[in-house]
Structure 1
Amino acid sequence: MPEEYLDKQKNMTVPSPLSCIRLVLLLFAVLLLTKESSSLKSMVIKVPEAIKSGDTVTMTCEYDLENVPLYSIKWYWNDEEFYRYIPKESPPFKAFTVKLVNVDLSKSGEHAVTLRDVPRQLSGDYKCEVSADGPFFHTDILGAHMVVADLPNGEPVMNIRDTKVEIGKTVNVECTIPGSHPTPNVTWFINNKEVRDNSDFITIYPTQSEEQHVSRAKIAILTNKSHFIQGVMTIRCDVAIFDLWKGTAENFIRDDSPKLAQVLGSTLSQSQMDPIFEPGNGARWTANVSDVVLFFCSLLSVFKHALR
């Protein structure tokens, strides 16, 4: 047993000094790589969710290189580079020719870029790419979407075909918004309560954009007693395009259902005008059979309306 152990020890190769040096250098390089790969931290890009067309916008890109020098900052619109900042070059900043993109170099730098007179066509994805200096040039990129909106040049208008309806009838209401882009968000209210979901009584249609970006929102209401407060239903549409613009339109619908007192009064008045029949055998009729039929038919109609 001891002889076998000694033989194994003799067969083992002893690393040369050069191999040891190579191993140490390799470990050192791995440690440097690990440090460099984590040198770009806490990267944050700030791009507005939406702006008005024609406005000036500043987008920022914050990062922490952990004492590693910056190599470059690059900005992209829909993957097309429009601005670059490299500290080692002179001048360090450069704007590229991209259609409709107008970079304000005086307000742009290593942490921000400013665009002037931004048109609606520049809605899209904006990205910031940060690269640390050599030898590893670690790079990270973040992006965000921005909408450039054309706002309406007027208030919304509400159209109602029938402003007086009987309970049980359907009312169709339309809210028209002047030219805008993108399609605005429309919220409906009945008696100041938001109508959230479609139901058996309410149908909300998707807002449609037409020529010249005019938008139309529609709602259909199958009326019932709960929709009216003292015989009046108040309906309103609130319109918004992000936080850039808001508008509202309101109108009223009145309950035009027959009232019990009106029906009874009309029936009794007609009965008083009917002639008195005096058939033979001394019998005296004070009411016509048709009056009785009319009275009960009218009364039945009133109850049907009341039960809806």
Structure 2
Amino acid sequence: MMCLKTMMVCSLRQQILPILGLLLIIECIISLKLLELRVPSHVPLGTRAELSCSWQLGEHDVLYSVKWYKDGREFFRHVPRDLEPRRKFPLPGVDVETFDTSGGNVTLSPAVLETGGRYRCEVSGERPLFPTVSDHADMLVVVLPDHGPMISGFRSRYRTGDRVQVNCTSGRSRPATQLAWYINGEPAPASAVQSAIDKKTEDLETTSMALDFVVQETDFKKNGLKIKCLATLAPVYWRSNEESALKEKAISNQLLRSSLEDVKVTRADRVLANSAEFTNSWRHVVLLLCSMPNLFLRGLVWFPFFLQEI
């Protein structure tokens, strides 16, 4: 009987121990949690990227290491129990400039094109199980445009029925900027916007997009028309350019006929005025001659004799 009890206890222990061990492993794995990983998705060329990794240890956990990787290659580690707790490893385009005591926050040197890639933070607990958690995020190094978007082809005045044909061109960047058109502050209808054209030069891209529509009476707001081109490289770049035009009033046919009649009347008045001036001039000449009758008659009498003497 005693042997039977002993065998039952031994069998029970053999069943319980694996379960306890499994529970212990699960507890260790669950106790260490990676709370948040912060890696900027877009970093302008020449700026410093800040990486952040936060975690939570269990009640009985002890931190063993924090390691940072870029494209699968380690470039920084923090092991509290080592003689040299924090170490940097050479990697093209990646150099840790500053870091905190936990190793969870690092700042990289000014970004170059090779800095872009996939970054991973890995946190491990102490022996015997060395529970490990990790997460990753991608970073893209961008070259911001050297100038804002430029609008060409826009006039200072428009009438209802006129056709607006303008173009917007961004500065050179990497990657290409996204362009968008607005009319009076509202997104332009898709029918008026043509497809963007990207032109690549020396690894940098220039984007252009045309806007083409016929002006309607409703397009004028307070006798004005406004268009805007917005260039973006989210979430690090927003620049826009806006142009304004005045409403030009159309001349009606009736007004045009009235203007022509006024011109005709004015010309007729000038002809009559000139004729009157001519008549008045001759009147003055006649009156002058009449005022000197003796002189005029003497001239008529002596004039033939004067001719004979000659």
Settle same-fold status: TM greater than 0.5. Answer: yes
**Among candidates 94, 107, 110, match of residue 103 of structure 2:** 110
* Separation (CA, whole Å) in 2 of partners of 1:121 and 1:135: 38
How many residue pairs are counted as aligned between the two chains?
Answer: 259
Structure 1 match to 2:27 = 35
Given that residues 54 and 117 in structure 1 are in contact (C-alpha distance below 8 angstroms), is that contact kept between their aligned partners in structure 2?
A: yes
Q: Give matches, 1:1-308, under 5 Å.
A: 15-66=7-58, 67-104=60-97, 107=100, 109-160=102-153, 163-165=156-158, 167-191=160-184, 193-195=185-187, 197-199=189-191, 202-206=192-196, 208-211=198-201, 212-229=204-221, 231-254=223-246, 258-260=250-252, 261-265=254-258
SS in 1 for 2:22: helix
* Separation (CA, whole Å) in 1 of partners of 2:22 and 2:187: 62
Task: Quote the sequence identity (%).
Answer: 24
SS in 1 for 2:195: strand
Given that residues 50 and 106 in structure 2 are in contact (C-alpha distance below 8 angstroms), is that contact kept between their aligned partners in structure 1?
A: yes
How far apart are 1:139 and its partner, in Å? Answer: 1.8
How far apart are 1:148 and its partner, in Å? Answer: 2.3
How far apart are 1:195 and its partner, in Å? Answer: 1.0
Cα gap change, 1:258 to 1:188, in 2 (>3 Å): same
SS in 2 for 1:71: strand
How far apart are 1:179 and its partner, in Å? Answer: 2.1
* Separation (CA, whole Å) in 2 of partners of 1:234 and 1:161: 10
Structure 1 match to 2:272 = none
How far apart are 1:50 and its partner, in Å? Answer: 2.7
SS in 2 for 1:137: coil
1:124-145 per-position Cα deviation (integer Å, ceiling 9, x unaligned):
3222112222222222221223
SS in 2 for 1:38: helix
Which of the pair has more CA radius of gyration? Answer: 2
User: Where does the alignment leave 5 or more consecutive residues of structure 2 unmatched?
Assistant: 267-310
Matching residue's letter, 1:120? L
Cα gap change, 1:239 to 1:262, in 2 (>3 Å): farther
TM-score by length of 2: 0.71
Matching residue's letter, 2:104? H
User: Where does the alignment leave 5 or more consecutive residues of structure 1 unmatched?
Assistant: 1-11, 274-308
* Separation (CA, whole Å) in 1 of partners of 2:233 and 2:193: 23
* Separation (CA, whole Å) in 2 of partners of 1:108 and 1:74: 13
1:50-100 per-position Cα deviation (integer Å, ceiling 9, x unaligned):
332112222111001213112222212233322222223221222222211
Cα gap change, 1:121 to 1:207, in 2 (>3 Å): farther
